[in-house]
Structure formats: structure tokens, C-alpha cells
Amino acid sequence: MRHYDAIVIGSGFGGLYALHHLRDQIGLSVQAFDAASGVGGTWWYNRYPGARVDAPSSPFYAYTFSQELVDEWEWKETQSAQPDVLAYLEHVAERFDLEKDIQFDTFVTDARYDESAQRWTIETDGGESASAQFLICATGALFVAHKPNYPGIDDFAGVVHHTGRWPHEPVSFEGKRVGVIGTGSSGIQAIPEIAKEAEHVTVFQRTPQYALPARNRPMTDDERERFRNDWDDLRESMCRRGGWPFPTTKLKPSDHTPEERRARYEEMWQEGGMHLAINSYRGVYTDEELNNEISEFVRSKIRERVVDPETARKLLPDYHFATKRLILDNGYFETYNRDNVTLVDLRDDPIESFDAGGVQTGAGHHQIDMLVLATGFDAVSGSMLKLNPKGRGGVSLQQKWEERFANNLGMMVEGYPNMFMIHGPGAPGVFFTMPLGAELQTAWIASAIEHLDANGLGAIETTTEAEDAYGDEVSAIANRTLYPTANSWYMGANVPGKPREFLGHLRGSQYFQQLAAVADGGFEGFVVEQRLD
């Protein structure tokens, strides 16, 4: 058995940074494991056509910790495509010499805490074991692909691809009748690309979505120069402003007449990206009347863009704008104006079953050669439950989390000393820029480790009281918004049987101040143990 100070599971944005920081900044011996054959995590797996960052990304959906890295990497577009994000992460791995401490093609099948040794032992699918004092779970918020269990789906004889597990070899759609289930970010990015090549595409839609024009474009040299020169200030405002450096509006809807508001929505629409949601007026996520007005504005845009009125009607969302993941669209709605694309509205015409040749809905049979499942993930909690670590007394996380994803600060679980999650349930995760969030969480983990070391301590753990208080705080923040009104993966609503609980801290800046205060205050409220050896 090999022994380390820390084991990191995962080598996406979170795992790569944890490995770098713990190894190179605080001098631990660290071994990382990844089931994939290369670095990248989500960006290694999600290589479906059209995959790109669905936020105003470059250069902010990237690491912030190294000015040299910021200076040397050339972001090509404002919203980076998957191959560019993956190339960036490969560059980071090479530049900081990370791969020598990552074991790829290795799935961690078990992790157990040994109370008497104050250490974690892991086992892998290759039959190996390793132990470490600290277990860092950077297992990914979008790792466990969710597959629908329609009757007969496994009898389908054609090719099946899940967007979250896309093959590395090129996939040809030419001459194929392709069925796509799912119209979240992945479906909405993939459908226009598939439709360009396929003989026919049938989209099976359960929930119509709001999508805003991405307005992706090449970055200019001037822009690159400006952000490099201002990087320290930009990073500081990212920390202060919820992950992005952009100022948000102070305007209230009552500052304008309905006509002026409509003109402002139009301006934000032309601007593209997330502007309509974050910059039109204050209160888009909390003020139902304002939200309804914007929802109707976006619906009117869908009606304008889709030629066939009946298809347009089926595409109109009826939940509150932006309460499911807001999608940036590169020609999605116009795709329905093509002759080779058909929309099936599953609310009117549900899927009954699959057979070797295709899909049976209430209204008829759809013959297909290929099925694309863009059906999302058992998000945030799924990857931890798949790892299913066993803590004190051998209690598994699946037992502990049967009813609620109890933890403190989205990072520590009572009964699982010295185990840290990056982007766990209740952390800001997708509601903040994830690379920066991972850096800040890792800095906190490093402070906890240094605190133990400096005080002759062997283990740190949270309490059930702290977990309850933290879970209540995350839910209370969410309950002050319209988010919980939607059946979203943020609420765990996409996976049958999953506890319905808001999975992210909506006030990222406040959260990271709280983390810093806990570290500065000597981890008060956490339970520590003397080192046993």
C-alpha cells in the first residue's frame, strides 16, 4: 500500500488546483486519481458537438491564481468551446507538472476512514490501495450521467450516446435519423449541430426552456491586453461580485415605464449573454412581477424566431425565467425552421416505450437510428454518493445522506474527519465561477491542514449542529428567491427519488468571506483531535 499526506479524487478544475496547491504551496505528498484517461473532468467527458461554456466565460472561467498563466494563455472566443477549455486544462497540467502525480484510468471504488490511524484508505478498480491523512473529493458536480428508464430503452438496437459521456472518436450523423431527449444546456447546444448533418432530428422535449442569444465572438488583442493588465483588480472584483467582475445594475423596475422597460429588455437581448438576467433590473430572481414580464419578453422572442406557430407554441416555457439553468443559445430556436427537424412535446405526447427501431409515443412511432440522451446528471451530490465513502463506524455516505445532503460549508461532513469536498452540495458551485471557487475552497482546506499541523492535531471534523445550521442557511437564502419554484437540477428535481433540496449557496461572495473568517478564527466550531501517533 502506498502512503501519502493527501489523496485527491478527480482532475478537473477542482482536482488539478488542489493537487497543485497542496503539493507545491504547502509541500504535502499528494496523489490524484481519475477514472478518465486525461485531465479535464467535466471537460474531458462532455465533448458533444456544440459543447461550450454557457456563461460569459473568457477569461473568467479559468484559474485566477497565476498572473503568468493569465499572460500566456490566449483565449480565442468570449465563450470558449469545449476543445479550448480542455486544451487550457492540459496546458495547466503540463505547466505545473501535475500529471506525474495523477493516476488516470483509475476509478476509486472505495474510501474508508480508519479512526485509530486518523487516515483514509482508498481502493481502486485496478485492485490497488493507498492511504492518506486527507481525502480531497474533487469528484465533479456534473459527473454521474442521468439516464431515463423508459420501458424497453435498452432494447433499442441503434447507437446510443449520452452527452455527458460522449465518445472520443468522431460521431457521424450523416444519413441518420437521430432522436434527442433533453433540452437543457447540452441538448440546446447539440441539437443545431446535429441538425446540420443528420437526415432527420426528432427532439423529445419535456420542458421548454428560456435561452438567451449567446453572441459568442472572437476576443480581440485589445481585450486580452486589458484584462491581463488589470488582472489583480478583476480578480478582486470577481471575489466581491459573486464570481464575475461585471457591475450589476441598480435600476429598479419602477424607475421606468413599461415601454422603457421593454426597450431595456431589447437592449439586453441585443447585448446577449446573461445580461437580461443580471443587468436589466434588480430583482429578476426575487420579484415575481418583474420576472413574469421578462418571461413574457423572452417568449415573444421565441414566437418571432420560430416560423411555424404550433412549433413555437410548444417551445414556450412556462416556469419563472432563469430559475432553471439559464441557457445561452447559438441558433437553437431557428433550428426548428429546418425541414429535417421535428419537435415532440412530451407533455402532450409522452414516451410510452422503446423498441429495437425507435420510440413509441402516444401519438405514434418514431423510427430512429441513433439516440442522443441529453438528459443531464445526478448533479452535485451524485459523484459523492457514487464514491460512497465510509466514515466513523463504517457509516456510508449513502446512509448518512438518505434524507438530506447534510454537511457544513459544502465541504465537510460530520462522521467523515479529514475529508473535504470541492463544490459539494451547499457550496456556491455553479452559482459562482467554478475555477475561482475551487481555488478559494482549496485555500481553506490548506489552512485547515496547516492549523492541524501547527497545533499537533490529527483530525478535523464538523458537527451535526453545524450541518443543520448550514443546511438551513443555504435553504433560507434560496427560499427568498424564485429558484425553488422550478423543477430544476438545482433542486434535485430531475432525478426520481432524490431529496428535494436546493444544492447551491446563492451568495458566493458572502460564503467565501465566511470561509475566510472561519480559517482566521482558528476553525472555531469544528471538532479537532490530538494527533494519535
Residues forming the site for ligand NA7 (CB under 6 A):
54, 142, 148, 163, 181-187, 206-207, 325, 346, 374-377, 430, 489, 494
Is residue 88 within 8 Å of residue 41, measured between CB atoms? no
Considering beta carbons, is residue 442 or 494 the nearer one to ligand NA7? 494
Considering beta carbons, is residue 272 or 376 the nearer one to ligand NA7? 376
Considering beta carbons, is residue 327 or 452 the nearer one to ligand NA7? 327
Is residue 500 within 8 Å of residue 485, measured between CB atoms? no
Here the contacts of 315-320 (C-beta below 8 Å, separation 24 or greater) are: 315/205, 315/208, 315/343, 316/208, 317/207, 317/208, 317/209, 317/210, 318/208, 319/207, 319/485, 319/486, 319/487, 320/288, 320/291, 320/292, 320/295, 320/482, 320/485, 320/486
- The CA distance from 274 to 320, in Å, is 15
User: How many alpha carbons fall within 13 Å on the CB side of residue 526?
Assistant: 26
User: Smallest distance, Å, CB 276 to ligand NA7?
Assistant: 17
User: Smallest distance, Å, CB 519 to ligand NA7?
Assistant: 29
Q: Which residue is nearest to ligand NA7 (CB)?
A: 184
* Relative orientation angle of helices 231-240 and 508-520, to the nearest 10 degrees: 100
| Kind plus residue range of the DSSP H or E element containing 531 | none
Considering beta carbons, is residue 182 or 458 the nearer one to ligand NA7? 182
Which residue in 144, 205, 86 sits closest to 379, CA to CA?
Answer: 144
Q: Which residues pair with 344 in a beta bridge?
A: 204
Considering beta carbons, is residue 165 or 240 the nearer one to ligand NA7? 165
Q: Which amino acid is at 470?
A: Y
Considering beta carbons, is residue 372 or 460 the nearer one to ligand NA7? 372
- The CA distance from 387 to 113, in Å, is 13
User: Smallest distance, Å, CB 140 to ligand NA7?
Assistant: 11
Question: Which residue carries 435561452 as its cell?
Answer: 211
User: Smallest distance, Å, CB 317 to ligand NA7?
Assistant: 10
Q: Which amino acid is at 439?
A: E
User: Smallest distance, Å, CB 490 to ligand NA7?
Assistant: 9
Considering beta carbons, is residue 298 or 406 the nearer one to ligand NA7? 298
* Region for 97 from its dihedrals, namely left if φ exceeds 0, alpha if ψ lies in -120 to 50, beta otherwise: left
User: Smallest distance, Å, CB 431 to ligand NA7?
Assistant: 10
Considering beta carbons, is residue 30 or 430 the nearer one to ligand NA7? 430
* Relative orientation angle of helices 13-20 and 82-95, to the nearest 10 degrees: 10
User: Smallest distance, Å, CB 48 to ligand NA7?
Assistant: 9
User: Smallest distance, Å, CB 346 to ligand NA7?
Assistant: 6
